Structure 1
C-alpha cells in the first residue's frame, strides 16, 4: 500500500469498498459462501470434503472461477499498460452488470459465479510502478502488515504507517456492511449499486490516466 502514489492508494480504498460490498451480496445470496474471500471458501471446501457435503463442490467451483478471474485480470492489465486500472475496472463493471442481469432472470448461482469472476479480475486493478499489486479482496495480509508495523512503532523503529493498512481494512468492512444492508433490503438494487460503484471507480481510473498525461 505504501509503495503506491496517493491517487492509486485512494483508488485501492474504493476498490476495497466495492469488494466488501460485493462479497456481502454473495455471502447473503449463497447462504454462506464468499465471492472474494477465498480463504473462507477453502475452509468450507475442506470441511465439506471431510463431512461429505455438497458444499465442497460449490466452494471448489467458486474458487476456480475466482482464480480464472485473477488470471484474466492480470492478462488484461498487462496488455493495457498504463491504462491498467481503467481497463480492469471496465471489465469488473461489465461482469457485475452481467451478474445483475442474471439475478434479474432468476439465475442465482450463475449470478454468484459472475460476482466471483469480477472479484478475481478486480485484484489486478491497482498496480505500482514496480508491477506489484494491492490485494483488495482479502485482508489477512493487510492485517499482518499492520500488526508488524504496530510492533515496529512500539519498538520505536516505525511510525504511523500502519494506519494506511487499517484504512484499507476498514474500507472493506464498511463496504461489506453497506452491501449486507443493501442486499437484505433489495437484492436487485444491491447488484445495481455494485455496478454503479464499479463504473464510478472506472471513471476515476480514467481521470488518473488523463492527469498523468
Structure 2
C-alpha cells in the first residue's frame, strides 16, 4: 500500500467505502445476498446445495459469475487503456452503476442488481498491476491479514505505521456499509444514485490528476 502514495491510499479507502455502501444496498435489496462480497455468496452457495435449496444456490452462483465477469471487464479496460489510467476503469464502473441505478429505479431490480455486481467486479481493477490485483477493494479478509502481518512487523522493530493503510480500507468498507444501510432505509434502491454520483466524481478528479501528471 505504501507504494501508492497518500493520494492512492485515500482513493483506495474511498472506493472501499463505496463498496461497503453498495454492498449494503444490494444486500438489503436482494434479501441477504451480496453484490461485492463473494465469500459470503460462496458460503450461501454451499449451504444452499447442502440443504437442497436450489434457487438460493442458483442465485448465489449467478452473482458470483457476474462478479467474475465484471473483473474480466475491468481488467480488460485496464489493459486497453494502461494500468496507470485508473480513470478509465472508474469510468467503466460509473457507467455500470448508472445503468444499475436506472434499471432499479424503473422497476427492473434484478437486471439493475446484475449491472451493480458487474460494477463491483470492475472496481477491483482500479489498482491493477501487471494483470494482478494491487489492492483488494471489495473484500477485507486479505486486507485484515496484511494488517496483522504489518502489526507483527512493527512489534518486532519494523516500520511502525505500515499497517495503517490497511486499517483505513477496513474502516472505509465498514463505515460505507453503515451509511449504505441507513440510506437504503430512507431511500430504498434509489440510494444507488449516490454511489453513481460518487464514482462519477472520482472519475473526473482522477482523470484531471492524470492529465496534470502527463502535462507536468
TM-score (norm 2): 0.93
Shift of 1:39: 0.4
Shift of 1:155: 2.3
Q: How many residues align?
A: 213
Answering whether residue 125 of structure 2 is matched by residue 124 of structure 1, we say yes
- 1:126 is paired with a residue of what secondary structure? coil
Separation (CA, whole Å) in 1 of partners of 2:26 and 2:4: 29
Q: CA, structure 1 residues 62+159, in 2 after alignment: closer, same or farther (shift >3 Å)?
A: same
Q: Does the CA contact (< 8 Å) of 2:27 and 2:35 recur in 1?
A: yes
Shift of 1:154: 2.0
Report the counterpart of residue 47 of structure 2 in structure 1.
47
Correspondences of 1:105-184 after superposition (within 5 Å): 105-127=106-128, 133-184=134-185
Separation (CA, whole Å) in 1 of partners of 2:120 and 2:108: 19
Separation (CA, whole Å) in 2 of partners of 1:132 and 1:49: 30
Q: CA, structure 1 residues 71+198, in 2 after alignment: closer, same or farther (shift >3 Å)?
A: same
Report the counterpart of residue 186 of structure 1 in structure 2.
187
The CA deviation string for residues 104-156 of structure 1, in whole angstroms up to 9 with x for no partner, is: 12111111111110000010012458965211001111000001111222222
Report the counterpart of residue 20 of structure 1 in structure 2.
20
Separation (CA, whole Å) in 2 of partners of 1:188 and 1:166: 29
Q: Does the CA contact (< 8 Å) of 1:19 and 1:119 recur in 2?
A: yes
Of 108-117 and 135-144, deviating more is 108-117
The CA deviation string for residues 166-195 of structure 1, in whole angstroms up to 9 with x for no partner, is: 011101111111111101111243011011
Q: CA, structure 1 residues 98+112, in 2 after alignment: closer, same or farther (shift >3 Å)?
A: same
- 2:4 is paired with a residue of what secondary structure? coil
Structure 1: runs of 5 or more not aligned: none
Separation (CA, whole Å) in 2 of partners of 1:206 and 1:153: 36
Of 50-59 and 125-134, deviating more is 125-134
Separation (CA, whole Å) in 1 of partners of 2:24 and 2:35: 8
Report the counterpart of residue 64 of structure 2 in structure 1.
63
Shift of 1:82: 5.5
The two structures, once aligned, show a CA RMSD in angstroms of 1.6
Separation (CA, whole Å) in 2 of partners of 1:22 and 1:89: 15
Answering whether residue 27 of structure 2 is matched by residue 6 of structure 1, we say no
